[in-house]
Structure 1
Amino acid sequence: MALRKLSSDLNCKNGTCPTLWGTDDETTLLVQGYVVTDPEQLAQIGLPEGEAVVRVPVDMLEDYFRARRN
């Protein structure tokens, strides 16, 4: 399944920053971000096995949703 870049961190300087990706069938979004490793934060979420939490800038998601409205 092919991916396409939908939005990325607007303040990114090195090109490998948090990014929002979409699948070619438009049924799934993939989020690239910084892995959350803080035990207290993970405990609050109660993460099931096989899932991960990533941190992304709010600006990135706002940019994506703003573009979809237009």
Structure 2
Amino acid sequence: MALRFIAKDPNTNGTQCPTAWVDDEAKEIVIQGWQAGEELLAQCRETGPIPETEGVVRLPIRMVSVLREACDVADRLGVH
């Protein structure tokens, strides 16, 4: 796996915080975020089940620019 670090949440101390990467080989955006609580999970399940192989994470809106950068990197990989 060729994991390319994009950025961490800019408003944290740099440890144990939401982070974004791009996996060049798998052609995927990889996100570390805060685990969703039961209330949020219940709301998400209203639109359909969440498979055991998937998870719901929370990211602060201040990370929009980080996610845009990860999307731009992914776009340059040429997969659509």
Q: Does 1:30 align with 2:33?
A: no
1:49-64 superposed matches below 5 A = 49-64=52-67
Give, in angstroms, the shift of residue 11 of structure 1: 0.6
- 1:38-49 aligned at under 5 Å gives the runs 39-46=38-45, 47-49=50-52
Cα distance in 2, alignment partners of residues 49 and 26 from structure 1: 21
Q: Given that residues 32 and 54 in structure 1 are in contact (C-alpha distance below 8 angstroms), is that contact kept between their aligned partners in structure 2?
A: yes
Assess if the C-alpha contact under 8 Å between 1:7 and 1:61 holds in 2. Answer: no
How many residue pairs get aligned? The number is: 67
Please, which runs of 5 or more residues in structure 2 have no aligned partner?
73-80
Q: 5+ unaligned residues in a row in structure 1: which ranges?
A: none
TM-score, with structure 2 as normaliser: 0.66
Alignment of 1:9 onto 2:12: no
Give, in angstroms, the shift of residue 8 of structure 1: 1.6
Runs of 4+ that moved beyond 3 A: none
Give percent identity, aligned residues only.
Answer: 39
C-alpha RMSD of matched pairs (Å): 2.1
* Alpha-carbon distance between aligned partners in 2 of 1:45 and 1:10, rounded to the nearest angstrom: 27
